[in-house]
């Protein structure tokens, strides 16, 4: 097992309740973060190391000013095939094993939480492979696993995970395989558990860093165009989009809709997406209560997604017919960003 020395990071973090992380489509540069009242997805399918974004807790004390980190990464150092720095964190533990064998990593978490990723080498491309992470708190998260880089997941609440800053703990990973059938339009119509095939998988654990200590890539001369529609926000006729202020990207913006009844029955309802040209954080509040953050760590125009459901963790209890006002408060961003919501949509 390759262990990277754990840095001492003692910064206050805002607690958010975690939930299961499910397999995601392989969209480059996407992070999912959803509420724990139902399913709070934080998996991110990536096509490569260059297109990575993530979500971490709010870092107080910036006063909303644009800040650049003290250090800038100049090379993509990898350990066991994983980037040393990714999704807002520093790699602290990684290992590789056959698919039919569990992996147990001992980590010593700091205050800001952890992020996880996986990578699978499987000959049968007709199978979906999932990696389950068993955490000391008894809850488990699942992330999809693929040869192109796998998925990313974020565990923000150490207490809910049964983890204590500064105390070593074991996190165990194990694999499951499924045969997936699709319809005429490529939609998934069935998913059957099957025996694990021959192959290997690798896992990595990152310790999250404060924004100003994370080595961002150099700023390009030309920033990317933003395409919010690429991030599975829902049906086009129902999408509502708000854009950053062209004169000041740190200006908060709002968007409102009426809560639909689907929130009572759907596991993903009122899909949202956010995208940004530059690294930074978008704090997302619902009816005045911050319920989520979308965070970006590069200049690729990546996306972050979650669902606004009836019972958001640490948020308001939303009822059908109620007016829902979303306030997006930017932090650190130095370029354009967009936020979209599709009321009633399901991913």
Residue 72 pLDDT > 60, yes or no? no
Please report the pLDDT score of residue 172 as a whole number.
Answer: 93
**pLDDT tens digit string along 77-132?**
889 989 999 888 999 999 999 999 999 999 888 888 888 888 888 877 778 888 88
Which CATH topology does 228-342 take?
A: Hypothetical Protein Tm1070; Chain: A (2.60.290)
User: Could you tell me the pLDDT band of residue 333, with boundaries at 50, 70 and 90?
Assistant: very high
**Cβ 101 vs Cβ 231: under 8 Å:** no
Which ranges in the chain are annotated with CATH 2.60.290? 228-342
pTM over the 0.85 mark: no
Contacts by 20-25, CB closer than 8 A, 24 or more apart: 20/139, 20/140, 20/141, 20/142, 21/141, 21/142, 21/143, 21/151, 21/153, 22/142, 22/144, 23/128, 23/130, 23/142, 23/143, 23/144, 23/151, 24/144, 24/151, 25/232
Using the predicted structure, report yes or no on whether residue 221 has a pLDDT greater than 90: yes
pLDDT of residue 176 exceeding 80: yes
Q: Rounded CA gap, 294 and 333, in Å?
A: 11
Residue environment code for 36-52, b if the CB has 16+ CB neighbours within 10 A, otherwise e: bbbbbbbbbbbeeeebb
Per-residue pLDDT reduced to its tens digit, 27-65: 334 554 433 222 222 223 322 222 222 222 222 222 222
**pLDDT value at residue 7:** 27
- Distance in angstroms (rounded) separating the CA atoms of residues 298 and 225: 14
Percent of the chain at pLDDT exceeding 70: 68
Rounded distance, CA 328 to CA 260, Å? Answer: 21
CA distance 298 to 277: 8
């Amino acid at each position: 097992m390759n262990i990277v020395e754990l840095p001492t990071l003692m910064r206050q973090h805002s607690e958010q309740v975690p939930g299961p992380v499910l397999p995601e489509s392989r969209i480059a540069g996407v992070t999912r973060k959803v509420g724990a009242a139902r399913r709070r997805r934080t998996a991110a399918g990536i096509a490569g190391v260059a297109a990575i974004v993530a979500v971490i807790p709010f870092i107080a004390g910036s006063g909303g000013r644009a800040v650049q980190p003290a250090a800038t990464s100049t090379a993509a150092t990898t350990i066991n095939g994983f980037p040393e720095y990714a999704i807002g964190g520093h790699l602290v533990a990684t290992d590789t094993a056959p698919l039919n064998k569990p992996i147990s990593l001992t980590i010593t978490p700091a205050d800001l939480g952890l992020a996880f990723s996986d990578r699978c080498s499987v000959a049968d491309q007709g199978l979906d492979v999932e990696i389950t992470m068993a955490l000391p708190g008894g809850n488990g998260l699942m992330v999809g696993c693929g040869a192109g880089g796998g998925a990313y997941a974020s565990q923000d609440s150490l207490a809910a995970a049964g983890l204590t800053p500064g105390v070593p703990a074991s996190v165990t990973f194990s694999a499951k395989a499924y045969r997936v059938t699709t319809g005429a339009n490529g939609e998934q119509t069935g998913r059957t558990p099957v025996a694990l095939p021959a192959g290997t998988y690798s896992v990595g654990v990152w310790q999250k860093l404060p924004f100003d200590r994370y080595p961002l890539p150099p700023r390009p001369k030309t920033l990317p165009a933003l395409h919010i529609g690429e991030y599975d926000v829902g049906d086009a006729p129902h999408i509502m989009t708000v854009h950053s202020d062209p004169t000041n990207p740190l200006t908060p913006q709002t968007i409102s809709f009426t809560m639909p009844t689907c929130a009572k029955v759907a596991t993903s309802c009122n899909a949202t997406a956010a995208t940004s040209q530059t690294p930074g954080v978008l704090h997302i509040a619902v009816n005045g209560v911050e319920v989520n953050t979308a965070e970006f760590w590069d200049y690729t125009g990546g996306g972050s997604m979650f669902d606004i459901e009836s019972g958001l963790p640490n948020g308001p209890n939303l009822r059908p017919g109620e007016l829902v006002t979303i306030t997006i408060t930017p932090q650190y961003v130095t370029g354009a960003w967009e936020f979209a919501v599709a009321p009633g949509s399901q991913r």
